[in-house]
Amino acid sequence: MSAHYPALIILIPLLAAFLNTAFVWLDKRLCYPTTVLGLGGSVYFCIRLLLKVVGNGTMAYHVGGWAPPMGIELRVDNLSALVLLLVSVIAFMNIIASRKSINEELTFKSGAFYTIYLLFVTGLLGVVATADLFNLYVLLEITSLSAYALLAMGNQDRAPLASLNYIFLGVVGASFYLLGVGYLYIMTGTLNMADVNSLLPGIAGSSAVMVAFVFCLVGIWIKMGLFPLHTWLPNAYSYAPVSSSRVIAPLMTKVMVYVMIRMMISVFGLDFVFEQISLEGWVVALASVAIISGAVMALAQKDLKKMLAYIIVCEIGYMVGGAWLGNSQGMTGAILHIVNDAIMTFALFLVLGNIVFTRKKTAIKDLRGIFSSMPWTMAGFILVGISIIGVPPTCGFFSKWYLLLGGIEAGASFFVFALVLSSLISAVLVFRVVETAFFSPEDGGHEHEKAALNEAPVSMLVPLGLTGVAIIAVGIWSGYIVQHIILPFIQQGIS
Amino acid sequence: MKQLGLIIVIICGGLLLYATQDFPAWGDPTAPVHTHLSPHFITEGLHETGAPNLVTAVLADYRGYDTMFETVVVFCAGIACILLLRTFVQRTRGREYRHTPTGVVLHIQDPDKDLNNPREFELIDNMWVPHDLIIKTVSRMLIPFIQIFALYVVAHGDFSPGGGFQGGVIFGASLILLALSFDLRSSLRRISEKMLGILSALGVIIYSGIGIACMLLGGNFLDYGRLTAILPVDPDHIRAMGMLGVEIGVGFAVMAVMVIIYTNIASQGRHQQGL
Amino acid sequence: MPDLLTEIVNKYNYWLYIILMMIGLYAMIAKNNLIKKLVGMNIFQTAIILFFISMGYKDNATIPIIMGGHGGEAAHKTIEASQYINPLPHVLMLTAIVVSVATLGVALALIILIYQRYQTLEEDELRMRVKQK
Amino acid sequence: MHWPIDLIILTLVIFCAIAAISVKDLLSTAILFGAYSFMMCLLWANMGAVDVAFTEASVGAGVSSVFVIAAVFRTTRRTKD
């Protein structure tokens, strides 16, 4: 049984999606329980898988019983098990939190929404688990296709246009990736990641492999939304309904960072990336520019949704820069930040969802007096804000610490400067929202309005509470995570 | 925008052209593409899977996991079209129906009332067009042959070009032809929206169900060899049988989804009138 | 010079696929109409498919369907790998075609939604109307 | 495979592609796009990829042209470029 875990985590949400579609026309009441069961099963098997992988080492699964270079292999090591758990838990919590708003927004199409949502999660889990370059492309397309649909639905007028822009850029990104895979395939004749990695030293110095790497990388960057290629991201995330942007914003970019790290370590190999290509100076500079410009653009926004979208652009710069610093501190920071940033972004969007659900307005000036009417939500916001600034007991501090150490070790002073500057700017961002919410008096100053408690429903507060606990817990246990999960993975990659 | 486009295009094209100098010559049998994996597929494919069409053998067996997700992509597109476009509009007050055998036009005022015998009537609204006798007759004659050809393509995918995907698209195209030559309503009368939705889910469930059956019988996911325990087939052909089952699933899903996408795009999600 | 010539003759297929791909990419970036962009996107994708099919081609080989394979007589004779074209790129590209048609369907659905809201498909007019609202 | 046929079809494919994106009527774009897909299908059949050619003939030249035409019919034929 336990040998089948890598396949089961993907198959359970997939089957739930198919059954869901049948239930849309047979009995609608069954849709939501099926979705919850599918995602819950996935969470359960992800936990079991993580424990097993940390205990016994990498697990490989041969689909169809064919040995790797012929057939497709699923391969779960420490890093992928960690990201798998992250994806499934966030997807599960989001479906709990968004039941009410989905029922309100899409009464008769909620079944179709659940199906697409499950397919999105399946695609992400598959991308993380697979060890085949082409299979990754197919799963990436499932993820993107469902993300286009999730982002475009709803009543916002501009959502379809934003999503169509995302389609155009997303297809270019995926096609660049496919082209890179084609160039690798024509030089090596194989599609399995480990096989490519073992064949590449034989054709060292080939210009085709170099171009393949560049195209894969640019494709992934487009999908991720790294700074000059981020143009689709803010609009797509801020016009979408919160129940879908809440899961796409934390997971899509983080999984793409995971894919980038996977390509660097498991496919091309760190020797190739840092010694033969040696673009690291350029990429770290680009990442620093991304951090600063993301933070500055977030500062310029007047709407909470847009502000969060630009904070994502800024955080992507952290991870890309950390991964390209070229030392193990930086890589540790980048991987730890995948986890931390996914949790923090999810928490921010939960706060946003609660505000949208009760107030319908998200402009920062409309948040006046919200502290007294939604105390729990705003307490969550302050906790996340502290973590984003990087204050010690919270998880945001630890990944930033590793990134700073890595930056100092690599002598990338611009990157270190960008990190510090963005921390300051996020302090300003958080303080601005808190000030409006807490200190500004309500217009007109009606006493009874100030005191009226108008908090979001419990089903939306519980996930926020759990995420808040996770922010502190991951911070406290981050030494354990680094020692037992991340460092073994990096050592495997170096040897 | 035009200059930006030109610059990007020139940079990309230059990079790609620069990389072609390392490629082996076109059609060179000693290129790595032809010496690493493909000899195994070509020489052992028939023995290991029992399908003479190597493309089908690799598609449905060696890389069956990819193909399952390819079907899921199609399925996802169909559901996405429903999610984005489908609207349920209220019936308008006055409706006019034309009785086809006699040509009499009826006017119905009550929005909730239905006709007793809807087959003999057609709704006349601002998109109504008179039917063309020649097109109708020709399509009526063509559609059964297209459908039989589609079934042949699905069933014969192991031995000749074709397979579930192509067959499904052709079958779907025959239904689209029906919708084009008559109208959307008469094609949806034959195969309803509910039916299409369930068929598309059924197709993917067949595919993954076969894979899970292999898992329950002790093998890995999609390891068709294990099906010998429940199918009374000669063990040499069991993999070909598994592939056939999978292809049938693909055919169902693709057929249904093509019609779903067409109906939603052509009627803007209202399912009233086609083109 | 003769080197360059043999280079071109040997690889003209790869060169032409790059030209085709750049036509598609240019249309996606520079065209103003959404459906034109969509057609450009499809040209871009088919050009990549052409690239994969080109690399699967092998001189003096035939289509990858084993001759006489039906009925079992081929099961006894050995099959030469040089007789048949590499089937793997064909399999990959079948999947890529399916992905491209699925994307096309979703993109067309979005285009219809956009037209319902703004009554135009031109990008500059769309930008104007978005500002007006 | 014969290389003259290959070269001729490749040239035609490029002409169709340029025509499809530069003609000033979206219905013509749709039709030229269908023609482009069909040429592509011939090219692949010529290179021995029969399965892919079959798929492209049914999908690219068939169904996706119908989708584009349906979308053009529901929106507009007008285009500025």
Contacts of A171 (CB under 8 A, 6+ apart): C41, C44, C45, C103
pLDDT tens readout for residues A68-82: 888 888 989 888 999
Q: Are residues A495 and A363 in the same domain?
A: yes
Residues of A in contact with B19 (CB under 8 A): 183, 207-208, 210-212
CB contact under 8 A, B55 and C14: no
Residues of B in contact with D53 (CB under 8 A): 161
pLDDT tens readout for residues C99-115: 999 999 999 999 999 99
Nearest Cα to Cα of residue D20 among D43, D38, D6: D38
Give the C-alpha separation, D10 to C52, whole Å: 15
Q: Are residues A99 and A223 in the same domain?
A: no
Banded pLDDT at B50 (limits 50, 70, 90): confident
Last residue of a domain, one of A81, A98, A129: A129
Inter-CA distances, A106 with A87, A111, B190, C106, Å: 24, 9, 29, 19
Say if residues A104 and B35 touch (Cβ distance below 8 Å): no
Domains and CATH numbers, chain C: 2-63+80-132 (1.10.287.3510)
Q: Are residues A116 and A223 in the same domain?
A: no
Inter-CA distances, B171 with B53, B197, B208, D63, Å: 22, 16, 22, 11
- Option in B19, B83, B208 nearest A211 (CB): B19
CB contact under 8 A, B63 and A72: yes
Give the C-alpha separation, C133 to C53, whole Å: 48
| Sign of the four-CA dihedral C50, C56, C57, C61 | negative
What stretches of A371-483 adopt beta strand conformation (E)?
none
Q: Are residues A366 and A484 in the same domain?
A: yes
Give the C-alpha separation, B145 to A59, whole Å: 50
Residues of C in contact with B9 (CB under 8 A): 22, 25-26, 29
Nearest Cα to Cα of residue C116 among A161, A451, A396, B162: A161
The reported pTM is: 0.93
Q: Which percentage of chain B shows pLDDT scores above 70?
A: 87
The whole-number pLDDT of residue B61 equals: 86
Whether the CB of B51 is below 8 Å from some CB of chain D: the reply is no
Distance from the Cα of residue B251 to its chain's centroid: 6
Q: Are residues A274 and A307 in the same domain?
A: no
Please report, in tens digits, the pLDDT of each residue of chain A (495 residues total).
778 888 889 999 999 999 888 888 888 888 888 899 999 999 999 999 999 988 888 888 888 888 888 888 898 988 899 999 999 999 999 988 888 887 777 767 788 888 999 999 999 999 999 989 999 999 999 999 999 999 988 777 888 889 999 999 999 999 999 999 999 998 888 888 888 888 888 887 788 888 899 999 999 999 988 888 888 888 888 888 888 888 898 899 999 999 999 998 888 888 888 888 778 888 889 999 999 999 999 888 888 888 888 999 998 999 999 888 888 888 899 999 999 999 999 999 998 888 888 877 777 777 777 777 788 888 888 888 888 888 888 888 888 889 989 999 888 888 899 989 998 998 898 888 888 877 655 555 454 445 567 777 888 888 888 988 988 888 888 888 888 888 888 888 776
Banded pLDDT at C46 (limits 50, 70, 90): very high
Residues of A in contact with C52 (CB under 8 A): 182, 185
Residues of B in contact with D54 (CB under 8 A): 161-162, 166
Residue A286 lies in a domain: no
Q: Does the structure show a pLDDT above 90 at B146?
A: yes
Reported as half-sphere exposure (CB side, CA atoms, 13 A), residue A12 has a value of 20
A445-472 in b/e burial notation, b at 16+ Cβ within 10 A? eeeeeeeeeeebeeebbebbebbbebbe
Task: Give the DSSP H or E segment for B95.
Answer: strand B95-99
Inter-CA distances, A93 with A39, A89, A243, A388, B52, Å: 9, 6, 11, 21, 48
Q: Which residue of C has its CA nearest to A157?
A: C117
Contacts of B133 (CB under 8 A, 6+ apart): none
The whole-number pLDDT of residue C71 equals: 57
Give the C-alpha separation, B149 to A422, whole Å: 63
Q: What is the full DSSP assignment across A433-461?
A: HHIIIIISPPGGG-HHHHH---PPPHHHH
Tokens standing for residue D7: 């070269």
Nearest Cα to Cα of residue C106 among A400, A73, B73: B73
Give the C-alpha separation, A306 to A310, whole Å: 6
Residues of C in contact with B55 (CB under 8 A): 64-65, 87, 90-91, 94
For chains D and A, having 3+ Cβ pairs within 8 Å is answered no
Amino acid making up residue D21: I
- What is the SS3 string spanning B96-138? EEEECCCCCEEEECCCCCCCCCHHHEEEECCCCCCCCHHHHHH
DSSP helix, strand, coil percent of chain D (3-state; round to 5)? 80, 0, 20
CB contact under 8 A, A211 and B63: no
Chains with ≥3 CB–CB distances under 8 Å to C: A, B, D
Q: Are residues A444 and A338 in the same domain?
A: yes
CB contact under 8 A, A138 and C95: yes
Residue A385 lies in a domain: yes
Q: Which residue of D has its CA nearest to B153?
A: D54
CA distance, residue A125 to nearest chain C CA (Å): 19
Residues of A in contact with B64 (CB under 8 A): 63-64
- Option in A71, A126, A149 nearest B83 (CB): A149
CA distance, residue C29 to nearest chain D CA (Å): 12
Q: Terminus-to-terminus CA distance in chain D, angstroms?
A: 38
The rounded mean pLDDT for chain C is: 84
Reported as half-sphere exposure (CB side, CA atoms, 13 A), residue B31 has a value of 25
Q: What is the full DSSP assignment across B185-244?
A: HHHHHHS-HHHHHHHHHHHHHHHHHHHHHHHHTTS-TT-GGGGGGTS-S-GGGHHHHHHH
Say if residues A111 and A275 touch (Cβ distance below 8 Å): no
CA distance, residue B116 to nearest chain D CA (Å): 32
The rounded mean pLDDT for chain B is: 83
CB contact under 8 A, C116 and B268: yes
Say if residues C76 and B31 touch (Cβ distance below 8 Å): no
3-state SS assignment for residue A322 = helix
Give the C-alpha separation, B69 to C105, whole Å: 17
CA distance, residue B83 to nearest chain C CA (Å): 10
CA distance, residue B173 to nearest chain D CA (Å): 7
CB contact under 8 A, C110 and A185: no
Residue A433 lies in a domain: yes
Counted residue by residue, chain C has a size of: 133
Q: Are residues A164 and A106 in the same domain?
A: no
Say if residues C89 and C110 touch (Cβ distance below 8 Å): no
Residue to substitute from C4, C106, C116, C123, interface B, most B β-carbons within 10 A: C106
Nearest Cα to Cα of residue C101 among A180, A112, A141: A141
pLDDT tens readout for residues D24-73: 899 999 999 999 999 999 988 888 888 999 999 998 888 999 999 989 98
Distance from the Cα of residue A431 to its chain's centroid: 25
Say if residues C33 and D81 touch (Cβ distance below 8 Å): yes
Q: Let me know the angle formed at the C-alpha of B209 by B206 and B210, rounded to the nearest 5 degrees.
A: 90
Whether the CB of C20 is below 8 Å from some CB of chain D: the reply is yes
Chains with ≥3 CB–CB distances under 8 Å to B: A, C, D
Nearest Cα to Cα of residue B5 among C37, C51, D36: C37
Q: Which residue of D has its CA nearest to B259?
A: D63
The whole-number pLDDT of residue A448 equals: 47
- Option in A148, A160, A186 nearest C114 (CB): A160
Say if residues C126 and A161 touch (Cβ distance below 8 Å): yes
- Option in D44, D63, D71 nearest C53 (CB): D44
Tokens standing for residue A455: 């908090």
CB contact under 8 A, A21 and B79: yes
Q: Let me know the angle formed at the C-alpha of A146 by D27 and A40, rounded to the nearest 5 degrees.
A: 165
Q: Does the structure show a pLDDT above 60 at B44?
A: yes
Q: Are residues A207 and A114 in the same domain?
A: no
Mean pLDDT across B23-39: 82
CA distance, residue C66 to nearest chain D CA (Å): 13
Chains with ≥3 CB–CB distances under 8 Å to D: B, C
Say if residues A493 and A266 touch (Cβ distance below 8 Å): yes
Tokens standing for residue B135: 């097109």
CA distance, residue C56 to nearest chain A CA (Å): 9
Residues spanned by the domain of A237: 132-138+146-278
H helices present in C57-122, as ranges = 88-118
Amino acid making up residue B13: G
Highest mean pLDDT: which range of A442-446, B63-67, B226-230: B63-67
Burial class of residue B151 in the structure, from the number of CB atoms within 10 Å of its CB (0-12 exposed, 13-18 middle, 19+ buried): middle
pLDDT tens readout for residues B98-137: 777 777 777 777 666 666 666 667 666 655 556 678 888 8
Sheet order of strands, B121-124 included = B105-108, B95-99, B121-124
CB contact under 8 A, D75 and C61: no
φ and ψ at C122, to 5 degrees? -85, 135
Say if residues D47 and D12 touch (Cβ distance below 8 Å): no
Give the C-alpha separation, A272 to A377, whole Å: 47
Nearest Cα to Cα of residue A5 among C3, C47, B215, B60: B215
Say if residues A349 and A250 touch (Cβ distance below 8 Å): yes
Q: Are residues A255 and A194 in the same domain?
A: yes
CB contact under 8 A, A145 and C96: no
CB contact under 8 A, B33 and C89: yes
Residues of D in contact with B161 (CB under 8 A): 50-51, 53-54
Q: Are residues A104 and A36 in the same domain?
A: yes
For chains B and A, having 3+ Cβ pairs within 8 Å is answered yes
Whether the CB of C102 is below 8 Å from some CB of chain A: the reply is yes
- Option in C56, C63, C111 nearest D71 (CB): C111
Nearest Cα to Cα of residue C54 among C14, C92, C91: C14
CB contact under 8 A, B266 and D70: yes
Residues of C in contact with D67 (CB under 8 A): 104-105, 108
Residue to substitute from B49, B193, B220, interface A, most A β-carbons within 10 A: B220
Q: Terminus-to-terminus CA distance in chain A, angstroms?
A: 31
Give the C-alpha separation, A102 to A114, whole Å: 9
- Option in C39, C53, C115 nearest D75 (CB): C115
φ and ψ at B173, to 5 degrees? -65, -35
Whether the CB of D12 is below 8 Å from some CB of chain C: the reply is no
Residue A288 lies in a domain: no
Nearest Cα to Cα of residue A279 among A219, A329, A324: A324
φ and ψ at A297, to 5 degrees? -65, -35
Whether the CB of C11 is below 8 Å from some CB of chain A: the reply is no
Inter-CA distances, B101 with B119, B131, C32, Å: 11, 13, 49
Say if residues B263 and B181 touch (Cβ distance below 8 Å): no
Q: Which residue of C has its CA nearest to D72?
A: C35
Q: Are residues A252 and A351 in the same domain?
A: no
Q: Are residues A386 and A429 in the same domain?
A: yes
CB contact under 8 A, B80 and A149: yes
More confident residue, C1 or A279: A279
3-state SS assignment for residue A75 = strand
CB contact under 8 A, C64 and B55: yes
Tokens standing for residue B253: 């899903």
CB contact under 8 A, C65 and B31: no
